[in-house]
A and B are shown apart, each in its own frame.
Chain A
Amino acid sequence: MPLPNDPGPWSFYRLGPTKEKELFKRRRNTYDGVIVPAHIASYYSAFCAEFIGTLQKPYLIDPMTYLFAGDPALLKRFVKDKTTGRTLRDSGGRKKKGDLKRSFSKLVEKEYGGLIKQAIDVDRPLTPKDFASNAAVDEFIGRVVDFQTNRLAQLPEKYRKYEKYAQKHGASLAGKANPPMCIVPPYFALDGPMWTDWLEVNANLVTRTKSGTALPVFPVILANTRTFELNGTAIIAKYARAKADGYLLWIDGFASDQDVAALRVVYGFIELLSKHGKPIILLYGDAFSLVLHFAGLTGFGCGICYSERKLSTQDVDIEGLIPPRYYIPRLKKKMQIETEAKRIPLANHPDLQCNCEICLRKPDPVAMDDTESREHFMLARRAEVEALRGGLSHVQFATDLNNAYRQYSADPLFAPVGHLRNWASVLTAVKPVG
C-alpha cells in the first residue's frame, strides 16, 4: 500500500499483542497505517501476513536493528521457574537472563544473518567497524529489504484455496502484492561517544538501501533530545545528502511531560527537518504529536493506548500486563481504571466526558474492560486528529490546553497536568510552519 492519502497528521498503530487484531479490524477507520516490528513479522509471519493482507492499510516494518548495537542482554529473555512460572533472581535480587528471545533468534537466523549473526554468536554488540566492508553491508541490506518487501506482501499459502471465490467476484488473491508503504533501512542510535561514527554508518545504509529498492525509503533517526539539541543541524544535513524519501523519528526516551526546554528542542528539530519537504513520522508519540503537527510533523505512531514513549535501551522481554487505562482527551492523559478511575469520579466533571461510541454506551470508565478502553482511545485519538484536519488553529489549541490546565491544576487527584501548560507554551512561542 502506498503512503496514506489523507492529510496529516497520520496516526499509526504499532502491532502488539494478538488480541488487538479484532480492534484493528473493527476500528479500521480510526487510523492511517500500521507499524509491524520485524521480530513480530518474522516470528508470527503467517498471522501478520493474513492480518496485513486483510486490513489493506498502509504499513511499514520496523527492522529493530538498533537492538543489535546495544547490550546483548537486552535481547535475552528472563529465566522462569518451570513449576511456579515466576522469574528467577540472582543473589542480588536481579532477574536472571537466559537465551536470546525466540522471536529475535528467528529474525537473526532466518532473515538477517550475516554481520548481525556473527556478532550475536559471540555475544557482543555491533560496532561501526562491523560496517567497514561494503560487500557485507550490501548483503545485510539486501536481506533487510527483501524481508520488508516480501514478508507480508502476499497472503499465506493457506488462503490460496479461496482463489476461486475471489475470482467469482472478479478479484484475485494471487499476484496482488501488498508491499509496505516504505522500506526502513537498518538503523542505530546516534547517542554516546560514537554517535558520529553511527551517523556515517546510518547515512551509508540509507544510500545503499535506496539503490536496492524502488519503494520509498524512510530512515529512522534515533537519538535523545540532548543529541538533537547539540547536533540536530549536522544530523539533518547528513540524512538530506542520503536523499531519503521521508523520515521516521524516534526521540529516545522522550516524554511529553518533560520541561518546556526539552519540548522546544523536539519542536525545533522537527521544524528544521520539515523544511526538506519530506514526510516525518514519529515512531513513538503521544498527544504531544498533535502539537508537533504545527512544526511540520506528518504522522505519529504508538501502541493502542500504550507505548507512546520508548527508551532504546529497554529490555525487549517485558513482563506483566499493561493495566487497562482510560484516556481523558481534554487532559491529554490516561488514568488507570482499577485505581484512579475508581477514586476519581469523572461523572462529577461533565467537561471531561467523552462522546465516543464506547463512552455513550458506558459513561463510567470503571465499567470498561481493556478492549473497550483501547477502543475508546482509538476513537478519541481519531477525533483529535480530525480536529486538526478540520483546521483547529495553534492559537485555539493552546487556549484549550491552557483552560484545561487552569481548571485542573489545583486538584491533586488530576495531577500532574503541567504538560498542558508546557504544550500551550510551545504552541504560543513558536511560529507554526505554513
Chain B
Amino acid sequence: MNSIAQGIRNEGWQCEVDLYRPLLSFFRRYTLAFAEVPFFGKRIDLVFATPTIRRLYAIETKLRDWRNAFKQAALNQLVAQHSYVALPACLAYRLAANEQRLFASYDVGLIAVEESAKILIPATRNGYFNLRHYHTLKTTLGRAAKSNKPQSLGVLTNALTERSRTLVFLQTRPN
C-alpha cells in the first residue's frame, strides 16, 4: 500500500480532478462531456456521450479507494452502456494484474491514467442497463448541453473547491 501511495505522489496526483484532463483527451471523440452528473443522490464523476446522447460512458475516478469507485461504477451500469473506473496508473496496473476476474465478472472497465489515459480492461454491456433511468439521465444531459456553454476544466475545479456540486457541461477539447 505504501508503494502505491508513493507511486500516486510520484505521478503528481493530488485530487481526483487531476485525472480528468487525460480522460477528457482520451474520450474527446465523444463530443459531449459532463462532470458531477446527478444520479439518485450520488454524482457520477464523468459522463461522455455521443452527440445524440444515445451511447453513454460513465467514469468513476479515485486516487486510492478503488473498491468504492468500483461499486459506484457497477451502479452506473444502470444508466450507461459502458462503465469504467479510472485510477492512477500505478494502482490501475496492479489491479489489472490482480483483480482482472473481479472486473470481468461485473463488466466494469478499468482505465490507467498518467500523462495520457489507457484502457486496461474494457467495459462490457450487461443486463442491468435500465431504460427508465437512462431516459431520465438523457433528458438531464440533453437539457444541460442545450442551455449551457461548455466550460473549461478550471470552472469545474473552482466549483469543487467551493464545494458546489452541480452538473457541469465540459469542453472535450481544451482552448
Partners in one complex: yes
Q: Which residues of A contact B (CB under 8 A)?
A: 92-93, 323, 336, 338-340, 342-343, 412-413, 415-416
Give the residue name and chain of the A residue nearest to B73 (CB): A412
**A339-B162 in contact (CB<8A):** no
> Using Cβ atoms and an 8 Å threshold, which residues of chain B touch A412?
67-68, 70-71, 74, 102
> With contacts A93-B164, A336-B41 known, is A342 near B128, CB below 8 A?
yes
Query: Pick the contact of B39 from A339, A342, A413 — CB < 8 Å?
Result: A339
Q: Do A413 and B40 touch across chains, with their CB atoms under 8 A apart?
A: no
Chain B residue, CB-CB nearest to A92: B162
Q: Which of B67, B75, B164, B166 contacts A343 (CB 8 A)?
A: B75
- Interface status of B78 (Cβ within 8 A of chain A): yes
Q: Cβ of B41 and Cβ of A343 under 8 Å apart? A: no
Interface size on B, as a range, is: 20 to 34
Q: Give chain B residues whose Cβ lies under 8 Å from the Cβ of A343.
A: 74-75, 77-78, 128
Nearest residue (CB) in A for B133 is: A338
Q: Which residue, B70, B71, B106, has most C-beta atoms of chain A within 10 A?
A: B71
Q: What 1/0 mask marks residues of chain B from 64 to 90 whose CB sits below 8 Å from any chain A CB? A: 000110110011011000000000000
A415-B42 Cα distance, complex, nearest whole Å = 16
CB–CB A339/B78 < 8 A: yes
CA distance A343 to B68 in the complex (A): 15
Q: Is there an interface contact between A413 and B71, defined as CB atoms closer than 8 Å? A: yes
Q: Determine the distance from Cα of A306 to Cα of B70 in the docked complex, in whole angstroms.
A: 26
Given the complex, which residues of B lie within 8 Å of A340, measured CB to CB? Answer: 75
Identify which of residues 33-47 in chain B touch chain A, using a CB-to-CB cut-off of 8 Å: 39-42
| Distance in angstroms between the alpha carbons of A92 and B162 in the assembled complex | 9
CA distance A342 to B70 in the complex (A): 16
B130 sits at the interface (CB 8 A): yes
By a CB distance below 8 angstroms, the chain B residues around A342 are 78, 128, 130
Since A339-B78, A342-B128 are in contact, a sample of 18 more A-B pairs with Cβ atoms closer than 8 Å, ordered by chain A residue number, is: A92-B162, A323-B41, A336-B40, A336-B41, A339-B39, A339-B40, A340-B75, A343-B74, A343-B75, A343-B78, A412-B68, A412-B70, A412-B71, A413-B74, A415-B67, A415-B68, A415-B71, A416-B68
**A371 CA to B67 CA in the complex, in Å?**
32
| CB <8 Å contact, A93 and B75 | no
Which residue, of A92, A323, A415, has the highest number of chain B Cβ atoms within 10 A? Answer: A415
**Across the interface, which residues of A come within 8 angstroms of B130, CB to CB?**
342
B residues less than 8 Å from A416 (CB atoms): 68
Q: Which residue of B lies closest to A321 (CB)?
A: B41
User: Chain A contacts of B41 at CB under 8 A?
Assistant: 323, 336
Is B40 touching A338 in the complex (CB atoms < 8 A)? yes
**Most chain-B CB neighbours within 10 Å: which of A323, A338, A339, A340?**
A339
Task: List the 7 shortest-distance A-B pairs measured between CB atoms, nearest first.
Answer: A93-B164, A412-B70, A412-B67, A412-B71, A339-B40, A339-B75, A343-B75
